[in-house]
Chains A and B, each alone.
Chain A
Amino acid sequence: MNGVVRLILHRLALGALTLLAVSLVIFVGTEILPGDVAEAVLGQGATEETVNNLRKLLGLDLPAHIRYLQWLGSLLQGDLGTSLTTGKPVIEMIAPRLENTLFLAGTAALVAVPLAIGLGLVAARFQGSWLDKTISISTLAAISMPEFFVGYILIFVFAVKLRWLPSLAKLSPSMPLGDKLVLIILPCATLTLVVLAHMMRMTRAAVINVMSSPYVEMAELKGATASRIVMWHALPNALAPIITVVVLNLAYLIVGVVVVEVVFVYPGVGQLMVDNVAKRDLPVVQACGLVFAGTYTLLNMIADILSTLANPRLRHPK
């Protein structure tokens, strides 16, 4: 057991290091580019003096490494800086949005993950059937489809033609949960469709891979039913790759959510980020980028740790 703890601690440390590197990259990414924030914000018409004043105000006259440490220091205290366009603290702008984004992505995950694993198992159980073939064709379609295509088709059919559901998901904090859920049905369905096929296909592949091992043949010879073999013998051993795929797709969900939020005018972090990219409000963009990249890194770390726990072979590194 000691070995597992050490392996997990190792992975956690690596994750923390990655987060630090991510913060550095986001900082440097906006640092080494030609021109600076002050010029970008004020535009070409600004005089030398106003640009210099804004630079001083933003602390841009300090050397880069000091600014990074200052930025990182206040970041660790939960201070994400002040928005250039609204003058409000960035944390106040992001916090309610983040709640909405997690609500949307979380609901989509709750729908997509059980559905994908269930369908994947059924496909593995009935290998070569029409269902199995449908799954492999729909995977090809799903990876070729831009998120906004799925979103607008759903809007066109269910909101405009059938008028069953609202086309925009303009959430407000005071709404009761039931109303919120109705509003996010379409964005949720879009996200689900985007990640479903890949998860399904990988679940199927992982189970079928295990199905070719000798102990499954043994179970077959013993006379176990096909469903029992899939559920009792194949699934536990296919768990590690399935967990990895699920969490990686959740990480993908976090990115896909940006486009989906814009399609449905959903008040989440993605929409906030895109709006502020247009306004060139750098502190907000940096903070949103950090939130997304941080979540992504975290999910990747969780995927690694979970698959270590699920696979006895990985618990004993050579």
Chain B
Amino acid sequence: MTLRSLSFWFGASIVGFFLVIAVIGPWIAPYGESEAAGDVWLPFSHEFLLGTDSLGRDVLSRLLYGTRTTISIALIATLLSFAIGMTLGFTAAVMGGFVDQIISRAVDVLMSIPMLIFALVVLALLPSSAVILILVMAILDSTRVFRLARALALDIAVMDYVEAARLRGEGLGWVMRREVLPNALPPLISEFGLRFCFIILFLSAVSFLGVGVQPPQADWGGMVRENANAIGFGLVLPLIPAGAIFALTIAVNLLVDWQLSRSGLKRVR
């Protein structure tokens, strides 16, 4: 077995594991998501495999519930980000001219503000809900997708087969879906993995700062925030959800590397 396929299987099994947990987690959780099941900060035991948190809730159960919350919010936000970014990117590239200028300049301005800072400013005013969180992340992140999608589509839009399709009289939507999309797909797939990682890290940071997923709902970043004090007492509690974030992102990165080298692409950063 080569190192490359080894890192693929390593990455794939971790990602697979987390996806399965995201689906069945809440069913196999020994306690409820916000159920005060025991004393505060109990150590690892048979009863509480990962101990209890600052409110006496079972850490393992919250981690299982949190996996579903974190992964589903991040996944929906990434999908939405790609839907917005790809649509606008392809449109800008295929239509060019005035439309391209307007969208591109708007994206430039949005990208000149760091995403976390922008999100903090906006989330300071908006009510806290999962839908708004997803929308904010998807819109801000779609600027990055837009840049890539537009650059890819610009290269494809000058190809003869696109010209032929247009001369045939195919509509804009048809050209984007049938000619541009299939040819832009391989780099976009690896970008999807990277953006998903970025959104997981971003969501965790926002939740850690207290403006993301709101308690009592569990998510990984929020769990780190809730249990931050435990570290001062020598407990590894906040490191457990933080470690889960790390494990998932590194696994997705391994898959992205594998996909990139398989399709002969180079990693940009």
Name A residues whose Cβ lies closer than 8 Å to a Cβ of B.
18, 21-22, 25-26, 29-30, 33-35, 37, 40, 140-141, 143-149, 152-153, 155-156, 160-161, 167, 198, 251, 254-255, 258-259, 262-263, 273-274, 276-278, 280, 282, 285-286, 288-289, 292-293, 296-297, 300
Contact = CB atoms under 8 A, between A and B. Distances in A.
6 contacts: A30-B122, A33-B126, A140-B257, A152-B242, A160-B233, A262-B208
B124 A285 contact: yes
B20 interface: no
B122 A149 contact: no
A-B interface, 6 closest residue pairs, ranked by CB to CB distance from nearest: A149-B242, A144-B249, A144-B250, A277-B124, A289-B121, A255-B114
Contacts of B224: 148-149, 152
B134 to A, nearest CB: 16
Interface in B105-135: 108-110, 112-118, 120-127
Contacts of A293: 112-114, 117-118
Contacts of B210: 274, 277-278
Contact of B242 (A146, A262, A278, A285): A146
B64 interface: no
Interface stretch (B49-57, B86-94, B146-154, B197-205): B197-205
A292 B114 CA distance: 8
Given A29-B121, A148-B208, 4 more contacts: A30-B124, A146-B205, A149-B245, A297-B112
A22 B209 contact: no
A21 B112 contact: yes
State the majority secondary structure of interface residues on B. Answer: helix
A144 B253 contact: yes
B246 A146 contact: yes
A147 B205 CA distance: 8
B56 to A, nearest CB: 21
Given A21-B112, A25-B113, A258 B209 contact: yes
A146 B118 contact: no
Nearest to A26: B121
Contacts, number: 145
A130 to B, nearest CB: 15
Contacts of B187: none
Contacts of B126: 33-34
B243 interface: yes
B228 A152 contact: yes
Contacts of B254: 140
Contacts of A146: 201, 204-205, 208, 221, 242, 245-246
Given A140-B253, A293-B113, A296-B113, A30 B121 contact: yes
A36 B37 CA distance: 41
A27 to B, nearest CB: 10
Nearest to A289: B121
Nearest to A167: B232
A274 B120 contact: yes
A33 B116 contact: no
B250 A140 contact: yes
A40 B125 contact: yes
Contacts of B262: none
Contact of B117 (A148, A280, A289): A289
B239 A156 contact: yes
Contacts of A300: 112
A43 to B, nearest CB: 12
B185 interface: no
Contact of B239 (A149, A254, A262): A149
Contacts of B205: 146-148, 259
Nearest to B233: A160
Interface string B239-269: 1001101100110011001000000000001
B123 to A, nearest CB: 7
B234 interface: yes
A21 B110 CA distance: 9
